[in-house]
Structure 1
């Protein structure tokens, strides 16, 4: 019975890996960098930032990272990586804030300023993660 579960798990993992490889290839494709113009977009905007001006060798369309010597093209796959790094950093900050406020807020006996700071901090985190969700939707929908 254990081997059948292991076999099913292995098949499922292989299927997920294949699906992820296909999606990652789509996200890494430079030809996928397109933009559907709004119907009422001014002509000046088309001329300044139109797709005919896109050049993958242009440094304006490259993303520099400290761990690589050469910048990489600004594809959607790299946007996902950057978003993941930002979310990990935000999660670490959220956990540190939770620890800080859980230690010091219950002992505080003054007015409500620390509670207000705690509330504002968590509202900022919710806005941050809300924007990250919208950013990921925009990346996946090519917007």
Structure 2
């Protein structure tokens, strides 16, 4: 699985002008299930995200995790993280999981955050979404379970 983490002061996602998910301080997580990914991969990625120390401590150093901060997450499915432009200018997405599998893994990842006690909201899988955020930092981290 691939995830792009953005530390945010706040974020929300809208579908057809209606807010479907939002978070205050925490993370906006753009998430892509890749071909061959499993629930185990989703669980490992969620564990990593919950523990990665990208929030400031009292000294201003990135030394605190999402769980330490009590931050929330807004998880947005984004198959375009699987983009491959190695054969030209038009990206290919064949490395992304099939939609049915991708949606199941995306929802499983969100549920894993909830089980950790993290306030979790999501976008709408497969929808044309407008994502609004106020970056904190900005801090943007790329995670990939394949590496």
State the TM-score, normalized to the length of structure 2.
Answer: 0.22
Larger Rg: 1
- Which gives a bigger RCO, structure 1 or 2 (Cα 8 Å, sep 6+)? 2
